[in-house]
Amino acid sequence: MDRLSLDTSVFWILLAATALKLAASYLAYRKRVQAAARYCAWAMLAAACYSFGYAFEIISTSLEQGKLWLKVQHLGIPFITTFWLILAIIFTGHQAFLKRWSVLLLFVIPVMVFIFQFTNDYHHLYYRDVQFDPDSSYMSPILLEKGPLYWLNVAYLYTQGAVGITLFVRMYSRAMPIVRRQVVMMIFGAVAPWLFNIAYIFAYDVVKIDLTPFGFATTGIVFIYGVYRFHLLRLVPVAYQQVFETIQDGVIVLDYDHNLSHVNESARCLFTKLRSWKGEPLAIAELFESHPDLLAMSSSSAYRELRISMDRDGAPHYYQVKISVIYDQGGIFLGKLMVFSDVTQSVLYQEQLLANRNQLEELHAFKDRLFAVVTHDIRDPLALLVSLTEIIEEDFIDPESEESEIFREISSQVRDTHLLVGNLLDWVRSQGGKIHFRPLAWELGPMVHAAVKTIKHRLEAKQIGMTVSVQAGTSVYADKEMVELILRNLMFNAIKYSRTGGHIRIEATRQMDQITLSVKDSGIGVNEEVVQSLFREIQQSSSPGTDGEQGTGIGLYLCEKFVRLNGGEIGYTSSQGEGSTFFFTLPTAGAPKMQYRSWREADGG
């Protein structure tokens, strides 16, 4: 290959190297949120000036051209290692030393070299002589006789390089594995240009070319590889290290041979052997010899969790241990990560909650038993009294006598109390989930007329008229006892809030596969204060009726639950002073099979 072809080939190679450095600079610039990335971008840009100028120096055709391209090179040469040293200081966590004055001091010699190189023709302190020899055996036709400032610059560059490499080596010796890979990339990228520069300075007569720009091209390749493979500069390694050391969870890193690789301070507090561990080889089997469950877990090849108990300071502590397998981006096994999370407080809280829950369940069961016994013991005698009052009223009391009015009042109070106790008993059973739901197909009319008979005495007492409109043959599919309780409660409320001489209408209408049963009164209407919670909550106290009648506040609550249990909905319309209409729906006997709600679903609204 002739000299011209060789120069041209090297020229294009150097331009390619320049493009590579510019790409590396751009990648670093994109990550400029990190201060280290910004200085990396500047260092690569300065190296690009170096290789670009040297490419054109090689093909120079005159001394003036050669000097021009030397100046282009020195737009970057004096500053490359300064930017790189600042990068190393930040990367290794020593940015506290980077005061404004210290940064300015670092740039004193580079700026001085830059100025003296540009004015070299006036003092010849940087280059004693610059000659043009197109027939030279060297790659560049520009022959340089180096001056004292040149060697001062070389000494300064090598000093900066030595300081930076020392910082990286020190960092590597105490870094965690994920950080060490990044540190190795930075060291390798920094060493390459120095090795090439040593060849240029001490063996130029042999190599015939300045190899330093090619060294920086190697740095660019390493940097680009590190960015995409090891997420270089995504987070400064010292930040990784800081997070690792200060996290409250204990962290143990195992290498691929199941030897200890790295631990944080929290992990050292968990195991006695780790408190004096300085990084010497330590097998996980030796560390966990008194914890066979942890040892077995550490051999797992997949993610696992385990809760263990350990004694610390004479008291048991509980830890949730998680083990994860670490792979690189290529899927190569690197080691394992064990994380020990202190869950002692959570466990103690759970134990306390469980103890409280058991105690509450016992108290709740006792309350239910007591309530059920009391209500049963009261309801049975009341049922007997209701039957006796009905017999006495029909057979022994003269309707026209003075005693008749007194007896009707007694009979009314007995029936009301019996209804109240029945509601209470149903509520107790519902709270314990002991409601028996037995839906059957049955005719609605006879049940409605039977229910009206039970309140006849109350209707007569307030001289309230009652109209029942239920078409013969109207059948529903529901629990008969529940529907009877619902209707009875709605009728009692209608009587309670109706004025003397009022009127109540019970009506059943059919719409598609549903029967709507309504109870309409001409009473005082619904109190606005209880509208929002009429069905959803047990009322603390029931509003008194028009004659001062009292209630428990349970009736409508149970009605809503029983209606929902039967697959229907309940609602009302009301106008203050004009009356209310309460209605609920039930499926017809011939309706398609539907999904009935459980008591839990009904009680949840």
- Residues 46, 192, single domain; the answer is yes
The two tokens of residue 201 are: 């300075």
Same domain for 316 and 423, yes or no, is no
pLDDT in tens, 249-269: 888 888 777 777 778 788 888
Q: Which of 119-133, 145-159, 378-392, 475-489 has the lowest mean pLDDT?
A: 378-392
CATH code where residue 469 lies: 3.30.565.10
DSSP sequence for 553-593: S-HHHHHHHHHHHTT--EEEEEETTTEEEEEEEEEBTTSPP
User: Quick one: what percent of the chain has pLDDT higher than 90?
Assistant: 14
- Within 10 angstroms of residue 101's Cβ, the number of other Cβ atoms is 8
Q: What is the pLDDT of residues 104-120, one digit of tens each?
A: 999 999 999 999 999 99
3-state helix, strand, coil in the chain (%, to 5): 55, 15, 25
Sign (positive or negative) of CA dihedral 445, 450, 456, 459: negative
Note the pLDDT of residue 132: 86
Best CA proximity match to 427, nearest among 537, 518, 527: 537
Distance CA(30)–CA(34), nearest Å, equals 10
Q: Are 200 and 171 in contact (CB under 8 A)?
A: no
If asked whether residues 513 and 420 sit together in one domain, one would say no
Same-domain status, 393 and 496 = no
Count CB-CB contacts under 10 A for residue 454: 17
In this prediction, residues 368-373 reach a mean pLDDT of 67
- Any idea what the CATH number is for the domain that residue 399 is in? 1.10.287
Same domain, 26 and 143: yes
The pLDDT value given to residue 108: 93
CA 585 vs CA 466, 557, 571: distances in Å:
21, 16, 9
Quote the CA–CA distance of 194 and 183 in Å, as a whole number.
17
Q: CB atoms < 10 A from the CB of 56, how many?
A: 18
The domain tally of the chain equals 4
| Domain termination site, one of 238, 257, 282 | 238
Mean pLDDT over 234-249 rounds to: 62
Rounded average pLDDT over 552-565:
81
Same domain, 273 and 362: no
Asked whether the whole model's pTM tops 0.75, one would answer no
What is residue 503's predicted lDDT score, i.e. its pLDDT? 93
Dump pLDDT digits (tens) for 389-401: 766 666 666 666 6
Q: Is the pLDDT of residue 468 over 90?
A: yes
Q: How many whole angstroms separate alpha carbon 63 and alpha carbon 539?
A: 105
Supply the range of the domain harboring residue 575: 435-603
> Which tens digit of pLDDT belongs to each residue from 164-211?
888 888 877 766 666 677 777 778 777 888 888 887 777 776 667 777
Cα 30 versus chain centre, distance = 29
- Higher-confidence residue: 130 or 201? 130
Report the alpha-carbon distance of residue 165 to residue 187 in Å, rounded.
Answer: 6
- The enclosing domain of 337 has a CATH number of 3.30.450.20
Asked if residues 351 and 344 have their Cβ atoms less than 8 Å apart, the reply is no
Do residue 300 and residue 321 come from a single domain?
yes
Residues 125, 260 share a domain:
no
pLDDT tens sequence across 209-222: 777 877 777 777 77
Residue 581's pLDDT is what?
93
- 394 & 331 share domain: no
* β 250-255/333-342 pair status: antiparallel
Read off the pLDDT of residues 413-452 as tens digits, 9 standing for 90 and up. Answer: 777 676 667 666 666 666 555 567 788 899 999 999 988 9
